[in-house]
Amino acid sequence: MGSTLLMEGVSDAVGFVGGALAGYWLARLFGIDMFAAGYDTASIVGIVLVGLGGGLGLQAARRWRAVKAARSAKGDKAS
């Protein structure tokens, strides 16, 4: 049980951080600086892209774990 929880935590963290970084670099690709002084529209859009990227990365990690668990369960039934 301990290793299952560890895998869940690590995969969630990797998915979230990877997605957030992808959102950050997507914002940079569009020329958006989310760290600009003040909260202008471009900064808000950059922050939203990072948040969306983190959320999508987290969901991708959870979907990956679900597929992996389903394959593992299917393999256990075949044995």
- Could you tell me the pTM of the whole model? 0.83
What share of the chain in percent tops pLDDT 90? 68
Mean per-residue pLDDT of the chain: 91
> Is 80 exceeded by the pLDDT of residue 79?
no
Q: Which residues make Cβ contacts (< 8 Å) with residue 58, sequence separation at least 6? A: 12, 15, 16, 19
CA-to-CA dists, residue 9 to 5, 32, 52, 71, angstroms: 6, 31, 19, 20
In the structure, what pLDDT confidence band is assigned to residue 48 with cuts at 50, 70 and 90?
very high
In the structure, what pLDDT confidence band is assigned to residue 1 with cuts at 50, 70 and 90?
low
Closest CA to 56 of 15, 28, 27: 15
DSSP 22: H
